[in-house]
Amino acid sequence: MYKLLALNIDGTILKNNGRLPRETKEAVDYVKKKGVYVTLITSRNLLSARKVAKALRLDGMLIAFQGAMIARTLDDRLFDAVIPEERTFNIVQILENFNCNIRLMHERYSLGNRKKVKKNLVVQTVLSSSDPFFYPTQFVDSLGDVLLDEPIAVPKIDVYFATDEQRDAAAALLTKSIPSIDMIMQPNGKMEIVPQGVSKLAGLRRLAQHIGVSLKETVVIGDGLDDLPAIEAAGLGVAMGNAPLEVKRAADWVTRSNEQLGVAYMVKEHFRKQQRIEFLQKLKTKQ
């Protein structure tokens, strides 16, 4: 009996054009009616994740910033971790020696340098400036100069390089120079820097413990390498059809791709036989 369903956003519940299919919304409603707690587990900021959650009619805790924040809203948090101000400044000082685009992902906004590394490299979000939950972004010539005057602590730093080789060289230098951070490598020269110990799996553990659910009672659906540890640890780990081979091999089950409504398909296959949790608990009590 599964009590917690954790869904990645990009490449999982959203199509490649950023749309949320009607079938996926219906699948989430179907699972919720069975008493299953549904959350989003994403590298996105909380405001962006909250926008998607609103479309799915989810009002519970969300796992955002790769697990650096677990919250319903910015004012209702279960957990948050940040890279301290001085460490953020030191990271930026090192990165500015490389040809890379740096995005400091604050909880309310992002701050980036103007350097262009590669066309279409920075992932576009589905947010628009007219959206009330818009996550503003400011670009400056030198992040280091700005941080000298206005230091900030951030839950995550996104860095985009032209090649994986350049990214790995920067990561090696950061490993030697900066303590208490973890680096998550993504495709196409992207690197995410988070506080030490932060991950989607760690976030899943914290949320599961908070709602009184074991990892064996969780289902995780994802498509990226950063989803892999959570997929392996879950009671049922599901890889999308568009996931890398490494993720598919680690999963208990592989569903269809995000373009083929893989989440809706998986829900129909695995949750249709599960009775409502409340009903099962009453049955267990009577026995």
Dihedral pair phi/psi, residue 275, rounded to 5°: -75, 165
pLDDT for the residue numbered 122: 44
Q: Please state whether 173 falls in left (phi above 0), alpha (psi between -120 and 50) or beta.
A: alpha
pLDDT for the residue numbered 269: 87
Read off the tokens for 231: 């997929």
pLDDT for the residue numbered 285: 45
The H helix count followed by the E strand count for the chain is 10, 14
pLDDT (tens digit, 0 to 9) for every residue of the chain, 287 residues total?
A: 899 999 999 999 999 999 999 999 999 999 999 999 999 999 999 999 999 999 999 999 999 999 999 999 999 999 999 999 999 999 999 999 999 999 999 999 999 998 777 644 444 433 333 344 468 889 999 999 999 999 999 999 999 999 999 999 999 999 999 999 999 999 889 999 999 999 999 999 999 999 999 999 999 999 999 999 999 999 999 999 999 999 999 999 999 999 999 999 999 888 877 656 554 454 344 44
CATH number of the domain at 85-195, out of 3.30.420.280, 3.30.1240.10, 2.40.110.10, 2.40.170.20? 3.30.1240.10
pLDDT for the residue numbered 271: 87
pLDDT for the residue numbered 274: 66
Segments making up each domain of the chain, as ranges? 4-80+198-285, 85-195
Q: Hey, what's the torsion of the CAs at 151, 192, 163, 240, to 10 degrees?
A: -150
What is the helix, strand, coil percentage profile of the chain, to 5?
40, 25, 35
The CATH number of the structural domain formed by 4-80+198-285 is 3.40.50.1000
